[in-house]
Amino acid sequence: MKPTTNFVAIDLGASSGRLAVGRWDGSRFALEELHRFSNGGVRAHGSIYWDVLHLWSEIKTGLTRYAAKYDASPAGISVDTWGVDFALLDGSGRLLGNPHHYRDPRTDGMPDRVFAQIPQSNVFGKTGIQSMQINTLFQLFSMAVSKDPRLDAAASLLMTPDLFNFWLSGEKANEYTISSTSQMVDCRERDWHRAMIEELGIPSHVLGEIVAPGTPLSQIRTDVLRDCGLKEAFPVIAGASHDTASAVAAIPFLDEHSAFISSGTWSLMGVETSEPITTDRALSLNFTNEGGVGGTIRLLKNITGLWLLQECVRQWQQEGREYSWNGIVSLAREAEPLRSIVDPDAGDFLAPENMPRAIRAYCARSGQPQPETDGEFARCCFESLALRYKSVLGALELLTGRTLNTIRVVGGGSRNQLLCQFTADACQRPVVAGPVEASSLGNVMMQAVATGNMESIPSGRQYIAASCEIVSYEPQFSEQWITAFDRFRDLGKTQVFKAVQG
């Protein structure tokens, strides 16, 4: 057997987290899961928080399992997470309260208040970021207008992966890919847009130096080594700390004629570019220009992905119905095709207490049959998402002037054969699915490059292609999808009309 170099990838998603060992033997990657655990928002006193101390405990559990299995310490460790959320620390590096969840209602109405001070076109022209009320900019602005004492007491702001890298290494750094999701980074200068931040009453002194993806930080702290039973120190690396950036870094054969979808709770659909696109059309279509690896920009759309179905499953569990994901897919296959469709990005689905009820209400308002069975709800979620992908694909071609011949899907949704086939059928493009664990593989690959164990990101993508199962889906033509897309495009107008009339 070839000797291997081990790296630990900590990949935290909005619904689950995992620690994995990435073994690199010079020609292939092998990924082994060490520890998996649940994650999610915690509701308390009208707010929604992240339990970061629970996540830290789970990270240390995973490292303890590594120490029990392997004699030698890994060659590196890195954290990637979802975007936009952050922690505030005092001058001694202590956490100032529980970090808020991006779905917390404190940002309700905040975009309009920000744009009353600074025109949206100016914000987009500088940051290139899609305006969503969950963004860091609006979270911080809500704290400024409410005079939240934590903001006054803060000495530093760390995005979520930066917080865990700090707890691992003792070094504070704001990694570029995750910082770019904040809507506070100048997309051309690739540094904080401090003038805008200060104009909104947000203290800019809490923002530290932005470092490039793949930057080694300090060695792991001695107390973490001791607590987890690890023997020798090793570097903590600020890789591509945004999980989407890590996932896209791991996509094989991604070229100018490919669109990508990183599919999970959120679906991030886009293309890689060399420069941001901040035209009026990009603004009107509400696209975003997030920082990528190797000097790239990820022009993409944030789409509400499997969140709708995940919340349906949670509701069904509360009602005593338990399904495996394979079971859900089987139910969806048996349901009538394209009976009920919704816009997954409608505000109705941001954080409802009962997702099936919200879907039924949406269908009723738009004059459609309401889903009745669990299979009908599941099929509605899958088909609606595929139709949303089609609309975004057309917008990407319009903005870039490219012909996008292939859709490359990575992440958890890439193993969903039904959704992949629906995507191919709706978009009339081949879908190439895999790798499933793209965020972890991208995390490991960036560590290998940062430590000199691999020559470059392009070569890393080739090695990933040789290491993983890739599945292709050919589009099947159906008039039903064409008719359904016409209905889908009319949904927004119908919903606005119903709201005005109601």
* Active-site residue, selected from the candidate residues 80, 85, 162, 243: 243
What is the distance, to the nearest Å, from the Cα of residue 40 to the centroid of all Cα atoms in its chain?
Answer: 14
Angle at 431 between CA 425 and CA 433, to 5 degrees: 135
Compute how many other C-beta atoms are within 10 angstroms of the C-beta atom of residue 89: 19
CA dist 239 and 178 (Å) reads 10
Beta-bridge partner residues of 19? 10, 35
**Is 243 one of the catalytic residues?**
yes
Phi, psi of 486 (to 5 degrees): -60, -45
Q: What is the 3-state secondary structure (H, E, C) of 73-95?
A: CCCCEEEEECCCCEEEECCCCCE
CA dist 135 and 124 (Å) reads 13
CA dist 399 and 407 (Å) reads 17
Rg from Cα positions in the chain: 22
Sequence-distant (6+) residues with CB within 8 A of 462 are 252
Q: Which is nearest to 445 in space by CA: 293, 233, 259?
A: 293
CA dist 276 and 195 (Å) reads 20
Return the residue matching tokens 């009602």: 319
Angle at 460 between CA 474 and CA 7, to 5 degrees: 115
Q: Which is nearest to 16 in space by CA: 382, 437, 358?
A: 437
Token pair of 496 as six digits: 């606005």
* Residues tagged active-site: 243
